[in-house]
Structure 1
Amino acid sequence: MLKNAYSRFRIISILEGLSYLILVFIAMPIKYIGENPYPVKIVGMSHGVLFILFCIFLFDALRKCNWDKGIAFQYFVYSLIPFGFIIIDKSLKKQPQDS
């Protein structure tokens, strides 16, 4: 499942996107409505690590799968949008995979 750059990028894309949704729609309301900043610290740190891994795996997939730099930039921009990971996943199905 995680044997190639394509699979690793696809998995980290989903995990990073889900962590972003948890941060924005669960942890942030708890911070501002419930006046408890602790969930944002935990989820925010986790999301930060996953985002860094996303960028590393994106670069790895760009090189090993011979993707166009424009597609890689597009995936990066999608990662900044809530639910963007769904667009990335659909688009990934059309991209060439490495061996």
Structure 2
Amino acid sequence: MDIKTASALHRLRLISIPEALSFPALILFGSVLSRVSDIDFLMMPLGMLHGALFVIYAVFLLDVWTKAKWPLKRVALFFFLAVIPFGGLYGDKLLKKYEADGVIAARARREGTVSA
């Protein structure tokens, strides 16, 4: 795995947790808060923040797709995980595994134990 692919995977991992938690933490909290009080002005900024995190996640996922040359099924899985609440937490676990596997394979190629 080259440095660009590793950094793309790392960026996707960095955004997956905040994106996964943004729906329950921001949207649901804002919804409950607007129902039990007169604080309606929070829903728009919280929704925009959640939307921005999702867009950043999608852009980073496309970056990983092009650099790591993932199959479409894997990209679709990670996109689906971003849509469901808390799905990004499982996605982060998978990304950690792919990142570790890539580092191990790159190290083995560099040491000459496995042919490229």
* TM-score, shorter chain, exceeding 0.5: yes
Partners of 2:40 and 2:76 lie apart in 1 by: 32
Across the aligned residues of Structure 1 and Structure 2, the Cα RMSD in angstroms comes to: 2.0
Give me the TM-score of the superposition, normalised by structure 1. 0.84
Contact 1:22 1:43 survives alignment (8 Å): no
Letter in 1 for 2:31: M
Give matches, 1:56-95, under 5 Å: 56-95=59-98
Greater CA deviation, 20-29 or 76-85?
A: 20-29
Counting matched residue pairs gives: 97
1:6 equivalent to 2:9? Answer: yes
What are structure 1's unaligned runs of at least 5 residues? Answer: none
Partner of 1:94: helix, strand, or coil?
A: helix
Alignment of 1:20-99 (within 5 A): 20-95=23-98, 97=102
Measure how far apart 1:32 and its partner are: 2.4
Counterparts of 2:92 and 2:58, CA distance in 1: 15
How big is each residue's C-alpha offset from its partner over 1:34-59, in whole Å with a ceiling of 9 and x where there is no partner? 24222211111111111111110000
Determine which structure has the larger helix proportion and give its number: 2
The verdict on how the C-alpha distance between 1:46 and 1:24 changes in structure 2, with shifts beyond 3 A counting, is: closer
Residue 5 of structure 1: CA displacement?
A: 0.3
CA contact (8 A) 2:81 2:88 kept: yes
Matched-pair contact (CA < 8 Å) for 1:27–1:43: yes
**Structure 2: any 5+ residue segments left out of the alignment?**
1-5, 107-116
Specify the structure having the higher radius of gyration (Cα).
Answer: 2
70-79 or 85-94, which deviates more: 85-94
State TM-score, norm by structure 2. Answer: 0.73
Identity of aligned residues (%): 32
Structure 1 window deviating more from structure 2 (77-86 vs 15-24): it is 15-24
